[in-house]
Amino acid sequence: MDEKVPELTAKALWYAAAGRAEIRDEPLAAPVASEVRVRALHSAISRGTERLVLAGRVPESEFDRMRAPFMAGAFPFPVKYGYAMVGRAEQGPLQGRAVFALHPHQTIFNVPAEALTPVPEGVPPARAVLAANMETALNAVWDAAPGPADRIAVVGAGVVGALVAYLCGRLPGAQVTLVDVDPSRVELARTLGVSFAAPDKAPGDCDMVVHASGSAAGLATALGLAGEEATVLEMSWYGTDQVAAPLGAAFHSRRLKLISSQVGKVAPSHRPRWSYARRLAAALDLLKDPKLDALLAPSIKFADLPSRLPDILSPQGGTLCQVVDYPSAADLKFL
């Protein structure tokens, strides 16, 4: 390891208490031989998960499973949390390269070299923050196993739902509809090459339905759109909330299947051959399409995160993928 790599003070976002986040100084030792120092360029807020973290609504039963790589602290508070970071490696074999890491929001950090995935040529660093969301969407498509010419509905036009619709829309002959209560999402659907419908106008008798709205009403819509013996894939995670699922009426007579998908494990269909590293690299490669910039909200400054988070994470806010820009080394002294 280059002995010239200095000790520094990093700045990191911490969820300090329910509804309150703050930026804290953290001493950063020189990287050891197995580590790479990375200077942050952009990160992204995961609205669904980080909303639950900020509100203190991570169930105690999930404290261990919800720990993100390189997270610090402990649930419920205080905790340093996040997992969509793009930075630039400052030494080692990847020196000068843009890299993706499952790391919390922090200006500069050290991680083992194997925790970094190079951002492919053709993927701008700001778009690369979608990698964790794309990885989740890819895993969900593997779980759901849609086919060419299928009629597919995706309920919930947030980032993950939109990415699932985008991937399904690339299947030959697939009829894909993105379903949401927000009519302004029609432009997003059009950009991604799929149809759009409000819940009461969405086509039924679907071969596959994906639910990603995070609401009980969305789940009811998803079950209602499923055709005979079809699968409804549940991607929403509700934290400590109890959600009523309408499993009466014709749910059983239509022999519907309600299954879960979660990115913490590679989908069973691919698990024997795919590692986490291979899946993440594939997700990054899938981000080469400029259409996906439609998912990126205008960036905000890292220093403004604590004051902006309540609006960003509000269910009524309508923000898609919130990009966070980090200061240069020269600017850090002014934070």
Over residues 247-266, the pLDDT tens digits come to 988 899 999 999 999 999 99
Q: What is the pLDDT of residues 157-167, one digit of tens each?
A: 999 999 999 99
Pick the CATH number of 8-132+291-334 from 1.10.274.10, 2.40.160.40, 3.90.180.10, 3.90.1150.10: 3.90.180.10
Name the residue with tokens 């795919």: 274
Find the mean pLDDT for residues 62-74: 95
Q: What is the pLDDT of residues 5-63, one digit of tens each?
A: 788 999 999 999 999 999 999 999 999 999 999 999 999 999 989 999 999 999 999 99
In this predicted structure, what is the pLDDT of residue 260?
Answer: 96
Mark residue 174 as left, alpha or beta (left: phi above 0; alpha: psi -120 to 50; beta: remaining).
beta
In this predicted structure, what is the pLDDT of residue 316?
Answer: 80
Q: Which of 327, 301, 295 is nearest to 47 (CA)?
A: 295
Diameter over CA atoms, the chain: 69
In this predicted structure, what is the pLDDT of residue 328?
Answer: 80
Q: Strands, DSSP E only, in the chain?
A: 8-17, 20-28, 35-45, 72-73, 79-80, 85-89, 98-101, 108-112, 117-118, 151-155, 175-179, 195-197, 206-211, 226-234, 257-260, 296-301, 321-325
User: pTM of the predicted model, to two decimals?
Assistant: 0.94
In this predicted structure, what is the pLDDT of residue 1?
Answer: 44
Find the mean pLDDT for residues 90-96: 92
In this predicted structure, what is the pLDDT of residue 4?
Answer: 67
In this predicted structure, what is the pLDDT of residue 330?
Answer: 54
Find the mean pLDDT for residues 222-249: 93
In this predicted structure, what is the pLDDT of residue 3?
Answer: 52
In this predicted structure, what is the pLDDT of residue 240?
Answer: 84
The domain ranges of the chain are 8-132+291-334, 146-260
Under DSSP, the state recorded for 106 is: B
The yes-or-no verdict on residue 331 having pLDDT over 60 is no
CATH topology of domain 146-260: Rossmann fold (3.40.50)
Q: What is the pLDDT of residues 191-224, one digit of tens each?
A: 999 999 999 999 999 999 999 999 999 999 999 9
The yes-or-no verdict on residue 96 having pLDDT over 70 is yes
Specify the range with the lowest mean pLDDT, choosing from 165-169, 287-291, 315-319, 328-332.
Answer: 328-332
Return the structure tokens found at 166: 């985008």
Q: Which residues pair with 234 in a beta bridge?
A: 211, 260
Identify the three-state secondary structure at position 205.
coil
Position with higher pLDDT, 40 vs 314: 40
Name the residue with tokens 């002959």: 173
